[in-house]
Structure 1
Amino acid sequence: MNCLASDSEVLLEHGRRVPIEELDARFEDERAMVAGNELTSSPIQLFTEREETMVYEVETETGNRVTATADHPFATPDGMTALEDLAVGDEVLVQPFHGIEDEQPEEFTILSESDFDDENPQLVRALTDRDLLPLTSTDDAFDRLLKLVGFHTGDGAIGNGGQTWFYGEPEDLESIRADIRAIGFTPSKIYERDRSHEIDGKSFDTTEYSIRASSKAFQKMLLKLGAPSGRKIESDFTTPWYFDRLTNWQKALYASAYFGAEMSVPAAQHDKNLYCPKVSQTRVAETAGAGERFLAELASFLEDLGIETSRIERFETSSSADHETIRLRLGIKNDSENLIQFFSTVGYRYNQKKRRKSVTALQYLKTKKAVIDRRATIASEAKTMADGGTAVSEIKSEFDINERFIERSIWGGRKGRPRPPSDFPGFDEYCETVSVRENLTVPTRVESIEPVGEESVYDIGVAHDEHNFVANGFVVSNCGVRMMTTNLTYSDVRGHEEELVDALFDDVPSGLGGGGIVEGDIDTVEEVLARGVDWALEHGYAVEDDLLHCEDEGMREGADPSKVTQKAKDRGKNQLGSLGSGNHFLEVQRVTDVFDGEVGEAFGLEEDQIVVLIHCGSRGLGHQTCNDYLRKIEQQHGGLLNQLPDKELAAAPAGSQLAGDYYGAMNAAINFAWVNRQLIMHRTRRVFERVFDRSWEDMEMELLYDVAHNIAKKETHEVDGEQRELYVHRKGATRAFPAGHPDVPRAYRDVGQPVIIPGSMGAGSYVLCGGEASMDLTFGSTAHGAGRLMSRTQAKQDYWGGDVQQELQEQQQIYVKAQSGATIAEEAPGVYKDVDEVVRVSDALGIGDKVARTFPVCNIKG
């Protein structure tokens, strides 16, 4: 939610809704619903208010309305779009279920230890250890148990030995499993079995899916909460004893879960109407009265929400050998307004098929209502014009509707509201044209956008992969490193250092400003931003193995070149294939130590071997993109920035149009950076060919790995025992995935992802592999380098570039060349932390394990 009027209602967990301004004092204790890949809940982390801001009311063709600022992002089939970029007729995505008005439950004890006096003390301890005793009406666990009891009443069974069974479709059983885990118990896997049936002489087969919980404590708690035991047909269960004391949204948890198990799915009747959704049950004659009370209590609850039900029907059925049985049935009246109220406030839980169909039904009924409302308005206006003396021909020309409708409106004496036109689709036909997404959203068109003045607006931020706060400013440029191995040894290079450093300096552009290996145009830049290293492969600057040994195979999904500004592209077109300045470098190194022989062999590393390290990013294109979005963030989210401890943490809420645009631009800049390093590697191969008079293939100049620094990525990690998709922002860090992770290239999956940690040009660098503890401790990350001890300004005061260059050559046989002495001074070995200590900590923590150490032979800098 972003920049909404005070009365905009936020959908919260458990089907509650609340005006956004009321979240001010309680947002940290709430969970909002988020339409990501599925409709799910997420903690709210942020609440802000902006005073007196111009707002606009948006209305869709299905009657959805919201008042928001011009920069408020709306979900559309093509992604997030700011209101100011929407027009009448555009499609937006809506989630039609809006829930029940939030209300604080009356607090009372549902179950206490005294309710289990006759039970085994171990059973009581199992419940108290899970904080389920005492159980009160305000506990989150109670809300989950309400759903479980409701569904079990419809489609569950109590088995022997403490086994509690639930039956349903696999996707629905997964939701039940999640709630069982959330209250502290362990559900089984989903079981599957084929069953044969015979009804009225016809045989057919079905597949039955089920899960069970084997805890006696869980079973006993469900029974105490009102789940029926034994054969339901003979049971005298009604709604639970505490049902009347619950708030409406709590009652809806129980009822909607029962309806998910037992109520019929929305379906077409005739004449563009839907069948009355019905729920039924069979009881023996002795308990039929309890069955009627059960349905009457549900009907009373629905009536409190303004939902009309039919009279409870009672049918005699074919009696069993032992008992006379009665069939009982309750229906929701199929008046459109009534069905809209039911589907949008109660509906079905634990049944995705019915939920999706109810969303379609909601949109159909709202569309039909909007069409009828328009026809009723035209009929009224036509009658008024005729009564005022306007000629019928003129009235007909005034409205875009068939002439017969106008005539009947004027002379026909129509009673009641008009019907939809004959070409209005039936429900089944409509269902073929509407696709409900997994997150239960559907597209609908914008009917109007009107300014309504100035008022205070509110904003919340949630901790979810679609609505998280994506950090800005530090990630666009995708600084990173790649290491290339060779079959050369240090002795092969001795005597060629000066020639090699001069040739690399001449052939690999470096320093500030323009100049690159490829002088492209805007079309070239667009392709690079979209395709990454695949572009380099097509144009002869890469081979297939280069892509296979690059993070993400050298192409970030979700890259959107259209979100990179023209100014950034103009800067990038002259810098494609260049080192830049600062701490970026190209360094020829020798392997001095191999700490892990097995992993070293997998990486193709051995002592005394020559390798090449390339450290650079997306140059001016990335820097410009960062600046462009920082300005936009300051303009659109000033209220959020004022709450941050440091302005350098400037961010836009994920899920907002701005955040979506920036993420697309960042991914495009990452692609640019990978191509930039690929072009430098290509040129380096050519330099080695000239200096050593053999082909790069003969020298086995192969990419070990390219790993990005300083980027944000969507990844799946375990948080509080659950797998969640997160934005992982690695500023000053690099990825370090362990062995077995599916995102590690196949060549290294058995040993772990290569991790490259550059040190200073006088101290060497390290190659690590992702450690086993990295996923648990650091979201699969470790440090990305030694890190500075002093600023560049201080470095230039303390060091003289010429002296540093001379000392490196004379004392350590390291040949360095740069555009200026100042650059060498800024990067003097003394301005960096001890890389040995940085790596020691990483290795000791198990987040990045030492594999090999390298030492510089020659180095070029911008």
Structure 2
Amino acid sequence: MTTFEAGDITLHRVREHVWEMPPEGGMRVPARVFASEALLEEIADDRTLQQLRNTTHLPGIEKYAICMPDGHQGYGFPVGGVAGIDAENGCISPGAVGYDINCLTGDADVRLSFGRKMPIAELRERFEDEEAVVAGDELTESELRLFTESGEREVFEVETETGRTLRSTGDHPFLTPDGMVELDDIDEGDTVYVHPFEGIEHESPEEFTVLTEDDFADEDPQLVAFLKRHDLLPLKSTDEAFNRLLKLAGFHTGDGAFSGPQTWFYADSGDLETIREDVAALGFTPSRIYSRERDHEIDGNEFTRTEYSVKVGAHGFKQLLLRLGVPDGSKVESSFTLPSWFDRLADWQRALYLSAFFGAEMSEPSAVSNTNFYCPKVSQNRRTEVADAGEEFLRGIAEALDSIGIGTNEIERFEAETDETERLRLGVQSDAENLVRFFSTVGYSYSREKERKAALAVQYLRRKEHVIDRRAEIASEVETLADGGTPVSELKDRYDINERFVERSAWSGRSGRPRPPAGFPTFEEFCESTEVRENLTVPVEVESIEPAGVEPVYDIGVEHDAHNFLANGIVVSNCGVRMVKTNLTYDDVRGREEELVDALFEAIPSGLGGGGIVEGSGDTVEAALERGVDWCLEEGYAVESDLAHCEDEGRRPDADAAAVSKKAKDRGRNQMGSLGSGNHFLEVQRVTDVFDSAVGDAYGLEEDQVVVLVHCGSRGLGHQVCNDYLRDIEEAHSGLLSQLPDRELAAAPAGSQLAEDYYDAMCAAINFAWVNRQLITHRTREVFADVFGEPWEDLEMELLYDVAHNIAKKEVHDVDGEDRELYVHRKGATRAFPAGHPEVPKAYRDVGQPVIIPGSMGAGSYVLCGGSESMNVSFGSTAHGAGRLMSRTQAKDEFWGGDVRDDLRDTNQIYVKAQSGATIAEEAPGVYKDVDEVVRVSDELGIGDKVARVYPVCNIKG
């Protein structure tokens, strides 16, 4: 195989295990993938290659962007990605290092395409097939690229002044007038943006064939061939094209016409653009928008207005609409009713048709008095002989609305002004609750002005009803307290409300619901004072933010640059590994695995929540950020040899604690010495194979030896650092951001203040991660001493090595024969410097830096040494693990935690303990790629050479 095709990406084989994507379309350098053919098939299964291609657009990127053999889709930058970027003329990107995704509770309704909504938790099985609604410059739809599910986290309930609520983690961003702001930084009285249209709950439609070739038997075969070629024949109720046709058919029934083979639509110019988009999406070519002046007379008043129209010249389009039930000729004389298959549709599909018909024919929201509304009405004129069909048509609409809880008035039928013609009229009941449901679930399509007025009406009515509900609560409380003897004077002081209201509630009670207060605005005043943005979002004040317990949380990622979505109508939007040696053999541990795993699990905090080995005061966190493992040495948590066997001796001198936000420090304060969750773990292992005895001797490894692997990072502190700077960089360097194909690659230009600050903060987070792993090592030594009854020093529990993963470091590399300082971004990759490199610790300089590659808890891990070719082909880097094959959500569907745990114990004699069975399922051996294959590729490329293989004995997870 010399090429590999993955969608619109073609990879060319450069040599064994090296595949290249040549530069095109804005790529500054080629992209390279290091993989066998088997691994390449797995890498191509998600968006890894597209994300790698996007990475090549970063300014200053040198040589090529690289995906390691364990690569898989990340957020912006692929996991397993490496990029060397000029440290003087390039940039530094938090997205290429890694950061957290913030989350919502599972019941948050996400607005989807075609007027649907679905709880975010239910998207796990279908997110790749869905599009979410995004509030960009205009309301649009975007494919989903990620679905994440996390364990239980503390959540807060936000309630707006209109009564709308949403529960999220404190770090989830909400759209405000100042841009995206995390909930923790939003106060009561602040403004957020909402979209009042909610949509209808998704349900899978009944699948049936709407149109077949037989329906076009009398048409030109070329027309049939065209429709088949564009997947419009056969037309099924589950086709996306059918959903677009429902809207177009509904609107045309209201405000369209046929002329010969041509199909005409009449609407405002902006609305016609939307119609044109839907027509084009079906494979037809709409005309430009035509305009002409038309004279009109109503009640004796003459006036001129501009009429806009669009035509579709394709005869096949007209025939589609006709066979879908759109009337031909004079609608007044037609006997058309709703299509025969209309009742078989899902509620949201019926709403698509109706919303478009209402966009053409129904009156817009308007107030009959200061605070009450007319009922929206749709009217038709029909000749007397077909008036019964007109009534049937409106009755079908009423029944469809009733099925989704929207009440209508009786159909009115009376003689029209024209002889032998009857006027038929259907109105939506005008009580507030019914109107809100109508405007927020069906509303109007292809009519921007009506949509805008409906958005205002929903917000106004919700706010009004919310105020009345609160006044009713106060009235009830006042009446109860007054009956119990509380003086009215005291009640007047207790409630911030009109004194006369308190008196009436206390003395005479109330027979019905209260009215709005005297100063409540009229609908007209509300419209004048409330902005409706181009994307139809409106501002609303936050009324309360309250703790709401602990729940599992979820998030999605969208393709669109706006990087937001609608949830309940509200617009929302460092790691490493170390290995510790012992002088124990597997025989020393066998039979005591359960005792050991229980002791480790009890002693070392794990999971999503807080709690660490050290109680972190402000000074403690500052010291850890500034001095790294030096601080551990001073405090008695480390020995001198720990520093000697740690990358950079456990301290980044560029670290600046002042560059780390208070919020990040607070997140790290109670997590010092904790594993966290996800793929982080502590594993006791035995060495099963030594492939290179000379390097094995230098590393102090031999077969049957027991070692301990610790894989974790800087916990919430490092994630917060990335989040903080990502948002700042997006705002300060929007010009650079606009040149990149993915917003999540947001970067600060080298030499800018933000680039320097972020680098200093990231180095501080690296120090914190080293401290975290050192504290876990300290506690592990204590556990081993207790379990085996000997001091840890006598057990020779020395650190083999500690290497960081998700980082960007300033390093000197050869670029075109010249030494250049680069920001080497390694996201889910690890440094692998070869023998002789000055930054390799002296103890290992003759053989090369130790490289630790964790595998799954059922397949084992590897120790490598930095390969001789690493500096030439991979910026001194190699893979950092096996790499995931499936998402955590998919893993939990595929595996049952209890079964995985029992199988590992009974079949492999591996003892696993975790906070929950779900955590074990998420990390099941079948979730990961073949670590043997990943390491084979690394070894054969010469970027990381095999030294030893280790196999799990027992494992603890968050």
TM-score class, shorter-chain normalisation, is: 0.5 to 0.7
Please show how residues 67-106 of structure 1 align to structure 2 within 5 Å: 67-106=167-206
Q: CA deviation at 1:147?
A: 0.4
Distance 1:354 1:75, change over 3 A: same
- Say if 1:292 and 1:328, in contact at 8 Å, map to a contact too: yes
Q: Tell me, what secondary structure is at the counterpart of 2:374?
A: coil
Q: CA deviation at 1:364?
A: 0.4
Distance 1:329 1:418, change over 3 A: same
Please name the residue that 1:451 is paired with: 547
Q: Does 1:385 align with 2:485?
A: no
Q: Tell me, what secondary structure is at the counterpart of 1:423?
A: coil
Looking at structure 2, the residues matched to 468 and 439 of structure 1 have their Cα atoms a distance apart, in angstroms, of 12
- Say if 1:48 and 1:639, in contact at 8 Å, map to a contact too: no
Looking at structure 2, the residues matched to 264 and 341 of structure 1 have their Cα atoms a distance apart, in angstroms, of 16
Q: CA deviation at 1:2?
A: 4.0
Looking at structure 2, the residues matched to 154 and 330 of structure 1 have their Cα atoms a distance apart, in angstroms, of 14
Looking at structure 2, the residues matched to 211 and 620 of structure 1 have their Cα atoms a distance apart, in angstroms, of 63
Q: Does 1:401 align with 2:497?
A: yes
Please name the residue that 1:249 is paired with: 348
Q: CA deviation at 1:13?
A: 0.9
Please name the residue that 2:119 is paired with: 19
Please name the residue that 1:166 is paired with: 265
- Say if 1:31 and 1:43, in contact at 8 Å, map to a contact too: yes
Distance 1:795 1:233, change over 3 A: farther
Please name the residue that 2:897 is paired with: none
- Say if 1:10 and 1:19, in contact at 8 Å, map to a contact too: yes
Please name the residue that 1:261 is paired with: 360
Q: Deviations over 1:725-771 (max 9, x none)?
A: 967779999xxxxxxxxxxxxxxxxxxxxxxxxx9898799xxxxxx
Amino acid at match of 2:533: R
Q: CA deviation at 1:423?
A: 1.4
Q: Does 1:329 align with 2:425?
A: yes
Amino acid at match of 1:194: E
Q: Tell me, what secondary structure is at the counterpart of 2:359?
A: helix
Task: Give the TM-score normalised by the residue count of structure 1.
Answer: 0.59
Amino acid at match of 2:206: E
Q: CA deviation at 1:327?
A: 1.3
Q: CA deviation at 1:371?
A: 1.0
Please show how residues 778-817 of structure 1 align to structure 2 within 5 Å: none
Q: Tell me, what secondary structure is at the counterpart of 2:738?
A: strand
Q: Does 1:338 align with 2:401?
A: no
Amino acid at match of 1:67: R
Q: Tell me, what secondary structure is at the counterpart of 1:122?
A: helix
Please show how residues 649-668 of structure 1 align to structure 2 within 5 Å: 662-666=725-729
Distance 1:58 1:368, change over 3 A: same
Please name the residue that 1:714 is paired with: 738
- Say if 1:621 and 1:669, in contact at 8 Å, map to a contact too: no
Percent identity between matched residues is: 53
Please name the residue that 1:128 is paired with: 228
Q: Tell me, what secondary structure is at the counterpart of 2:425?
A: strand
* Aligned mate of 1:238, from 337, 340, 360: 337
Amino acid at match of 1:88: E
Please name the residue that 1:55 is paired with: 155
Q: Deviations over 1:192-216 (max 9, x none)?
A: 1111112233211101111111110
* Aligned mate of 1:226, from 293, 316, 325: 325
Looking at structure 2, the residues matched to 761 and 426 of structure 1 have their Cα atoms a distance apart, in angstroms, of 69
Amino acid at match of 1:307: I
Q: Deviations over 1:673-700 (max 9, x none)?
A: xxxxxxxxxxxxxxxxxxxxxxxxxxxx
Higher relative contact order structure (alpha carbons within 8 Å, sequence separation ≥ 6): 2
Q: Tell me, what secondary structure is at the counterpart of 2:121?
A: helix
Please name the residue that 1:844 is paired with: none
Looking at structure 2, the residues matched to 622 and 158 of structure 1 have their Cα atoms a distance apart, in angstroms, of 71
Distance 1:264 1:633, change over 3 A: farther
Q: CA deviation at 1:248?
A: 0.4
Please name the residue that 1:756 is paired with: none
Please name the residue that 2:285 is paired with: 186
* Aligned mate of 1:7, from 107, 122, 138: 107
Please show how residues 436-475 of structure 1 align to structure 2 within 5 Å: 436-467=532-563
- Say if 1:465 and 1:714, in contact at 8 Å, map to a contact too: no
Q: Does 1:284 align with 2:383?
A: yes
Looking at structure 1, the residues matched to 293 and 102 of structure 2 have their Cα atoms a distance apart, in angstroms, of 49
Please name the residue that 1:369 is paired with: 465
- Say if 1:99 and 1:344, in contact at 8 Å, map to a contact too: yes
Q: CA deviation at 1:412?
A: 3.3
Q: Deviations over 1:240-269 (max 9, x none)?
A: 111000010000000001111111111121
Looking at structure 1, the residues matched to 413 and 715 of structure 2 have their Cα atoms a distance apart, in angstroms, of 61
Amino acid at match of 2:121: E
Q: Deviations over 1:512-532 (max 9, x none)?
A: xxxxxxxxxxxxxxxxxxxxx
- Say if 2:371 and 2:522, in contact at 8 Å, map to a contact too: yes
Please name the residue that 1:415 is paired with: 511
Please show how residues 754-769 of structure 1 align to structure 2 within 5 Å: none
Q: Deviations over 1:266-302 (max 9, x none)?
A: 1121141111111111111111111111111111111
Looking at structure 2, the residues matched to 657 and 275 of structure 1 have their Cα atoms a distance apart, in angstroms, of 50
Please name the residue that 2:769 is paired with: none
Please name the residue that 1:40 is paired with: 140
Q: CA deviation at 1:662?
A: 3.5
Please name the residue that 2:316 is paired with: 217
Q: CA deviation at 1:713?
A: 2.2
Q: Tell me, what secondary structure is at the counterpart of 1:57?
A: strand
- Say if 2:263 and 2:312, in contact at 8 Å, map to a contact too: yes
Please name the residue that 2:944 is paired with: none
Q: Tell me, what secondary structure is at the counterpart of 1:255?
A: helix
Amino acid at match of 1:34: V
Looking at structure 2, the residues matched to 246 and 58 of structure 1 have their Cα atoms a distance apart, in angstroms, of 35
Looking at structure 1, the residues matched to 399 and 514 of structure 2 have their Cα atoms a distance apart, in angstroms, of 32
Looking at structure 1, the residues matched to 721 and 414 of structure 2 have their Cα atoms a distance apart, in angstroms, of 60
- Say if 2:394 and 2:411, in contact at 8 Å, map to a contact too: yes
The more displaced of 199-208 and 238-247 is: 199-208
- Say if 1:94 and 1:443, in contact at 8 Å, map to a contact too: yes
- Say if 1:268 and 1:275, in contact at 8 Å, map to a contact too: yes
Please name the residue that 2:599 is paired with: none
Distance 1:123 1:660, change over 3 A: farther
- Say if 2:135 and 2:564, in contact at 8 Å, map to a contact too: no
Q: Tell me, what secondary structure is at the counterpart of 1:67?
A: strand
Q: Tell me, what secondary structure is at the counterpart of 1:309?
A: coil
Please show how residues 563-574 of structure 1 align to structure 2 within 5 Å: none
Distance 1:631 1:158, change over 3 A: farther
Looking at structure 2, the residues matched to 398 and 222 of structure 1 have their Cα atoms a distance apart, in angstroms, of 64
Please name the residue that 2:619 is paired with: none
Distance 1:396 1:294, change over 3 A: same
Distance 1:376 1:446, change over 3 A: same
Tell me how large the CA RMSD over aligned residues is: 4.5
Count of aligned residue pairs for this structure pair:
566
Q: Deviations over 1:111-142 (max 9, x none)?
A: 00011111111110110010110000000000
Q: Deviations over 1:572-599 (max 9, x none)?
A: xxxxxxxxxxxxxxxxxxxxxxxxxxxx
Gaps of 5+ in 1: 474-565, 571-618, 672-710, 718-724, 734-758, 766-789, 799-829, 834-862
Q: Tell me, what secondary structure is at the counterpart of 2:163?
A: coil
Distance 1:173 1:631, change over 3 A: farther
The more displaced of 355-364 and 662-671 is: 662-671
- Say if 2:664 and 2:721, in contact at 8 Å, map to a contact too: no
- Say if 2:664 and 2:720, in contact at 8 Å, map to a contact too: no
Q: Does 1:274 align with 2:370?
A: no
Amino acid at match of 1:237: F
Please name the residue that 1:138 is paired with: 238
Please name the residue that 1:514 is paired with: none
Please name the residue that 1:110 is paired with: 210
Task: Give the TM-score normalised by the residue count of structure 2.
Answer: 0.53
Q: Tell me, what secondary structure is at the counterpart of 1:347?
A: coil
Q: CA deviation at 1:159?
A: 1.2
Distance 1:312 1:59, change over 3 A: same
Distance 1:176 1:2, change over 3 A: farther
Looking at structure 2, the residues matched to 716 and 287 of structure 1 have their Cα atoms a distance apart, in angstroms, of 60
Amino acid at match of 1:141: A
